[in-house]
Amino acid sequence: MPVSQIFAEIRSRTVMLTFIMFTPFVLAACGGGSPPPPPPPPPPGSQISKIFETEFSTAQFLSRATFGATKTQIDGLAGTEVSDWILGEFNKQPTLYRTRITDRLDAMPGTRLRDYDVTNLFLDEAIAGSDQLRQRMVLALSEIIVVSSDGMLSSYPEVMAYYVDILSQNAFGNYRDLLNDITYSPGMGGYLSYMRNRKGDMASGRVPDENYAREILQLFSIGLVELEMDGTPKTDGQGRQIDTYDNSDVTGLAKVFTGLSLEGSRFNGLYRNCPTLRRDCPRVYQPMVMFDDYHSELEKAFLDLTIPANTNGTDSIQMALDEIFNHPNVAPFISRQLIQRFVTSHPKPDYIRRVANAFESGRFTLPNGTVVGLGQRGDLKATLAAVLLDVNALRDPGTAPNDFGKIREPMLRFIHWARTFEAATPDSADERMLRNMTGLLGQHPFRAVHVFNFFEPEYVAPGTVTGAAGLTIPELQIVNESSVISYINFINSFIYDTSSTRSRDPDGGVNADYSRQIALADDARALVDDLDLLLTGKQLSTATKDRIVELLGEIPIDVGSEDEDKISRVRVAVSMVMTSPSYLVQR
């Protein structure tokens, strides 16, 4: 099939990607008021209560809530309660990265680390770690509150690790606390250029930097237009959407974020003032501090708040963050994006409303009757539980509408492959290709191309079936002819164990354990059924499975070469499944 036709089909939401066989054998904090009570638990015997009842439903749930299901996990969860699983994940200690980076610097004086050293640690945890739900939330939050190492931060892994740790420590906390910690982080201060942001000066014409003021409103909290609780835009008497803010609000808010700099820096300290070994410069991975001499003493008016003149910088920031956080848009705006990152690209209004209500109330009732959340607006435990356990998230894919589901993000496909085939001791730092994930996949954890992430949550692909239907499919923004073929080449380099490692050690890097599949290789149908469960959650059509089984039959298992023939069958099968529409679209 020509590339042009592949491109045409991938641009269709329901077809997504032609079945490509690319193998050696075939080309191919809190709000005021009393929150509403949490909803009651679902009735016994409901769909939610049966999540771990079958292999199929277990695999499906884990594909959303973790980086991928393993057969060990599926078997271990049989007959257990999803409430216990979620509570167990909430109770795990957060996986952190900053100390590992600084310890490495301390142990190897003169060593120069880069931003991908943080990513490599994260990839290893995502593949083999047990802190699955939190780290999945970390990645989702990193695509909403973006700090990217693609630029000036690329040489400061401590700064990036500290940013990731903030996401990890707040992943099950409160969104207001997360906004506070991110605001004071050197990573955000450097990335959006408000570190060392000085108050205005009429004589010179200097005005405060507006970057963070604009993005915290547009991208991190309330968005551009006023929203109903179900995420639909509010309109005025003429049916026009209502802007949430204008440029005067940005100008007023920019004055708030003046006077912040690195601790102990005398305000003007720059990153480059720290030596290569930055163990003596911990200020780059500590919260920024306020220097009131550089903070605007003027009145600051934005949204519905006026901060009086001569209010100190620390108080100004807290007043501003309270005003932003308490805006009614925050619940639907953030809830919608979390649904997109975990479950479906075009969530229905009723789904958004239910999740937003959990955000507002700060509580959610699990199937066993346990209430999660502290009852404070912005509680992310309650919000995330509502995302994962909503009736929309747990519907039978066979009866779900065509606009339900999401394209699996390319970086998640790689992690899924490695996790599914139980790469128990991954060494992502040894894999050369992982340094260029952005170029090869269009994505690299914590390395978005701009503050709008790899793709925008409101993206509607022009000239497509989904675009004509008005569906938001963010992931299509990084889909083109090149990225389609590049993904196939990338994933096959790992499936076929031909990826280049720095150590040149055949056992180095990230390696799959196909022993379970090799044991099934004599029975092509059993092999495909196993991959269908683990990779797609039983979404392969009968016709697709028949085609794969037919091709596998063309790979004989001969006496004397059984081992090589079996591994060949397995690799072909894995490649075919992972490039199929049923895999690329998570349902």
User: pLDDT per residue over 532-545, tens digit each?
Assistant: 999 999 999 999 99
User: What integer pLDDT is reported at residue 391 of this predicted model?
Assistant: 94
* pLDDT, position 24: 31
Classify burial at 126, counting beta carbons within 10 Å of its beta carbon; exposed 0-12, middle 13-18, buried 19 or more.
Answer: buried
Cα 161 to Cα 97: distance, rounded to the nearest angstrom: 5
Q: Domain containing 468: what range?
A: 3-20+31-185+336-495
Q: Tell me which of 458, 473, 495 is where a domain ends.
A: 495
SS (H, E, C) 405-444: CEECCHHHHHHHHHHHCCCCCCCHHHEHHHHHHHHHHCCC
Domain for residue 517, yes or no? no
Compute the distance between CA of residue 251 and CA of residue 263 in angstroms, rounded to an integer: 26
What residues does 243 pair with on adjacent strands? 225
Residue 74 has pLDDT above 90, yes or no: yes
- Based on the domain organization, do 319 and 345 belong to the same domain? no
3-class state of residue 343 by DSSP? coil
pLDDT band at 264 (very low <50, low <70, confident <90, very high): confident
> What is the per-residue pLDDT across 169-183, written as a single tens digit (0 to 9) for each?
999 999 999 999 999
DSSP label of 502: S
* Residue 581 resides in a domain: no
Same-domain status, 202 and 149:
no
CA distance 419 to 67: 7
CA distance 38 to 357: 9
Q: For residue 39, what pLDDT is reported? A: 61
Count how many residues are written for the chain: 587
- Give the pLDDT band (50/70/90) at residue 211: very high
Q: What tokens appear for 143 in the block?
A: 């695509």
Residue 40 has pLDDT above 70, yes or no: no
Q: Which two tokens stand for residue 18?
A: 């032609």
How many angstroms separate the CA atoms of 338 and 137, rounded? Answer: 9
Percent of the chain whose pLDDT exceeds 90: 79
The answer to the question of residue 36 being in a domain is yes
Considering the domain architecture, whether residues 56 and 84 belong to the same structural domain is answered as yes
**Residue 525 lies inside a defined structural domain of this protein:** no
Residue 457 lies in a domain: yes
Residues 70 and 156 in one domain: yes
Q: Residue 413 domain-assigned?
A: yes
Axis crossing angle, helix 82-91 with helix 380-389, rounded to the nearest 10: 150
Q: Answer yes or no: do 488 and 351 share one domain.
A: yes
Same domain, 45 and 122: yes
Mark whether 171 and 59 lie in a shared domain. Answer: yes
The rounded percent of the chain whose pLDDT value lies above 70 is 89
Scan for tokens 């008005």, then name that residue: 470
| Between residues 103 and 30, the one the model is more confident about | 103
Residue 479 falls inside a structural domain: yes
**157 CB-near residues (< 8 Å, 6+ apart):** 101, 113, 114, 115, 117, 118
Q: Is residue 155 part of a domain?
A: yes
Please give the Cα distance from 166 to 182 (Å, whole number). 7
Whether 265 shows a pLDDT value over 90: the answer reads no
Domain boundary among 303, 330, 357: 330
Structural contact between residues 431 and 499, judged by C-beta atoms closer than 8 angstroms: yes
pLDDT of residue 410: 97
**Mean pLDDT in the chain?**
89
- Specify the higher pLDDT residue, 70 or 44: 70
The single-letter code of the amino acid at 240 is R
pLDDT in tens, 302-359: 999 999 999 999 999 999 999 999 999 999 999 999 999 999 999 999 999 999 999 9
Report CA dihedral (305, 309, 311, 315) to the nearest 10 degrees: 20
Average pLDDT over residues 360-368: 97
Question: Does residue 36 sit in the same domain as residue 155?
Answer: yes
Number of other residues whose CB lies within 10 A of the CB of residue 114: 15
- Residues 12, 141, single domain; the answer is yes
Tell whether 342 and 453 lie within a shared domain: yes
Among 298, 330, 362, the domain-final residue is 330
Strand boundaries in 472-537, DSSP class E:
none
Q: Residue 4's pLDDT is what?
A: 35
What pLDDT sits at residue 206? 96
Q: Are residues 321 and 343 in the same domain?
A: no
Task: Flag whether pLDDT at 9 surpasses 90.
Answer: no
Whether pLDDT at 17 is above 50: no
Give CA 526 to chain center in angstroms: 33
8 Å CB contact between 405 and 586: yes
Written as one letter, the residue type at 452 is F
For the stretch 420-447, pLDDT in tens is: 999 889 999 999 999 999 999 999 999 9
Give CA–CA dist 170/375, Å, rounded.
16
Q: Give strand pairing partners of 371.
A: 365
Tokens of 278: 């930055």
Q: Is there a contact between 160 and 446 (Cβ–Cβ < 8 Å)?
A: yes
Do 317 and 358 belong to one domain?
no
The total number of structural domains in the chain stands at: 2
Report the alpha-carbon distance of residue 363 to residue 529 in Å, rounded: 39
pLDDT of residue 106: 79
Mean pLDDT of 15-27: 32
